[in-house]
Amino acid sequence: MDSLGKALITGASSGIGALYADRLAKRGYDLIVVARHQERLKAVLERISGDTNRSVEVLAADLTNAADLRRVEQALRTDATIELLVNNAGSAMTGHLAVSDADDLERMILLNVVAPTRLAAAVIPGFIARGRGTLINVSSAVALAPEWINGAYSGTKAYLLSLSVRLQHELAGTGIRVQVVLPGAIRTGMWEKAGTDVATLPPDILMDAGDLVDAALAGLDSDENVTIPSLPDLADWDAYELARQNMFPKLSRNVPARRYRAVAENVVGAR
């Protein structure tokens, strides 16, 4: 099979990222796999190379480390064979903000927000110059449901959704695809890292990571800009988007809404 070019995948040593690597290699992409753990990446390389005969490059990098992040950015800027970037690397936190460790929060924001933003900014100019390319940002359903989990974590995922929607507008008509994926709860090792035993979660809300990736790629094939693998009826998302867009003309006006002026008038009148 002729190569479709290279796909660079972050967080590719396990879980969702490793499955993206497997599926994209089987589709015909050569790979650049990025994660902190070089030995785990080598295992991914050996398995995928053996199964698919595709070229797999290992780029060990901690994306919360500025120097490592710059190395990945440089690869994205200079390798004109990169056709697809999967911004998958991320970390999660559970629990309330008041009891969260501030340093852990900062590392999560660096990984979930700063890194994918810089990587997207590094790859998009080359995509524009070539008139093609695909960016996949792995967000989360908590971007739409911040009540479910740690507010800082859900905030990072809402940021990725917002970034992706804006990029879809900026890059319309350029030949570049931007897809954002909003998984629900996925059966991966991230739960344990975040301090939650996955066995305590209701089985009916947990999706296997392989099913998630297959659904996300099916959404990409169907030209979805926003893919929510668990959502049975896409009309629900369309209705949500329509309600959001209906507010656009009302979000920035030259006077406050009448209800606030009425309160102010009542306060002044009571004095």
pLDDT, position 221: 98
Note whether residue 223 is domain-resident: yes
Note whether residue 261 is domain-resident: yes
**Region 79-104: what's the mean pLDDT?**
93
Note whether residue 130 is domain-resident: yes
Note whether residue 102 is domain-resident: yes
Note whether residue 1 is domain-resident: no
**Residue 33 in contact with residue 89, Cβ under 8 Å?**
no
What is the distance between the alpha carbons of residues 20 and 34, in angstroms, rounded to a whole number?
12
Strand partners, 57: 32
Q: What is the CATH number of the domain that holds 26?
A: 3.40.50.720
Note whether residue 183 is domain-resident: yes
Domain span at residue 28 reads: 6-270
Catalytic residue among 20, 29, 153, 159: 153
At residue 190 the predicted structure's pLDDT band, cuts being 50, 70 and 90, is low
Chain position carrying tokens 């099913």 = 211
Instruction: Give the strands of the sheet with 30-35, arranged side by side.
Output: 56-60, 30-35, 6-10, 82-87, 133-138, 176-181, 226-227
**Residue 78 in contact with residue 129, Cβ under 8 Å?**
no
Active site residue 153: yes
The two tokens of residue 136 are: 């996949």
pTM confidence score: 0.92
**Region 30-40: what's the mean pLDDT?**
93
Range scoring the smallest mean pLDDT among 143-152, 155-164, 190-199: 190-199
The H or E element containing residue 161 is helix 151-170
Q: How many domains does the chain have?
A: 1
At residue 193 the predicted structure's pLDDT band, cuts being 50, 70 and 90, is low
The two tokens of residue 101 are: 């460790």
